[in-house]
Amino acid sequence: MRRAILVLVILCGIAPRAGAQTVWTDRGYVTISGDFRVSPMSFAGVTHPVVFVETATVTTTYDVQPAPGVDGGVGVRVWRNLGVGANVSWIARSSTGSIAAQIPHPFVFNKPRAVSGESGGLDHDETSVHLQAIWMIPSGPRWSIAIVGGPSWITVNQSIVSDVTVLSPYPYDTATYSNAVSARESKGRLGFNVGGDLTWHLGPRAGVGFGIIYSHATVPFSAATGDTVTVTAGGTRVNGGLRVRF
């Protein structure tokens, strides 16, 4: 949250002020942007598959890298400078999993073998629907600033690691990581968004804008083992694209 507030302060700080028109007179706007999630994300999940009639522990730290995406939005003015809008964004990011596991021994209890490894190609994509309250601050004929915020519904598709396969020759006292066993799961959860958008109006209708939005939701997944893996979704997203007023 502290990052989001900082963003707003920056936007306000760069907005032109002198002789500015301060009343929003448009009926609304439409945006189409390319965006980029700038914040890497990391979250961890622990699963407990049963291996050799004993419970294993598989801890996966998921690192989701920054990646491009797209979004579009629409907003309408409802009263003076206040409007409401909706924004839809989609982003697909590559995620890797750093795996540390304790795999039971086949012949004796309580003699787990420690293995670790990396699993690439764990899918992670997010489709977010942001409902937003908008406070539009026109600043002369060329500039306007929108401050937005509201609830978000973030749907995450994520490959959840539930187990690992290992290579282990007799006497099976040691093992080395081979592969991750993962399944792609999909789930949505309510979160929030807050951000701002700076538009430079090229003409009476069209303009270009740059925005920054922070959104956040925690999405609990149920792994194949029955364990819950909570995925952190959202993050800081910068975008730029077309702004159309009507």
Single residue of 36, 52, 90, 210 touching another protein by CB under 8 A: 52
Q: Is 170 in the site for another protein (CB under 8 A)?
A: yes
- φ/ψ of 3, rounded to 5, equals -65, -40
Q: Tell me how far, at minimum, the Cβ of 178 lies from another protein, in Å.
A: 18
Q: Is 240 in the site for another protein (CB under 8 A)?
A: no
Single residue of 80, 82, 109, 116 touching another protein by CB under 8 A: 109
> 125 or 197: whose CB is closer to another protein?
125
- Quote the longest CA-to-CA distance of the chain: 81
Single residue of 120, 171, 203, 204 touching another protein by CB under 8 A: 171
CA–CA dist 235, 103 (Å, integer): 34
Question: How many other CB atoms are there within 10 angstroms of residue 26's CB atom?
Answer: 17
- Strands 143-167, 113-139: parallel, antiparallel or unpaired by DSSP? antiparallel
3-state DSSP call for residue 9? helix
CA–CA dist 175, 165 (Å, integer): 10
Question: How many other CB atoms are there within 10 angstroms of residue 24's CB atom?
Answer: 22
Q: Tell me how far, at minimum, the Cβ of 183 lies from another protein, in Å.
A: 12
Q: Is 107 in the site for another protein (CB under 8 A)?
A: yes
Do residues 194 and 206 make contact, with C-beta atoms less than 8 angstroms apart?
Answer: no
3-state DSSP call for residue 156? strand
Among the candidate windows 12-20, 170-178, 179-187, 219-227, which touches another protein by CB under 8 A?
A: 170-178
Q: How far is CA 120 from the centre of its chain?
A: 18
Tell me the sheet residues that pair with 226: none
Q: Is 200 in the site for another protein (CB under 8 A)?
A: no
Q: Is 112 in the site for another protein (CB under 8 A)?
A: no
> 54 or 63: whose CB is closer to another protein?
54
Total interface residues for another protein by CB under 8 A: 11
Single residue of 106, 117, 188, 241 touching another protein by CB under 8 A: 106
Judged by the rule CB under 8 A, the positions of this chain that interact with another protein are 52-54, 106-109, 170-173
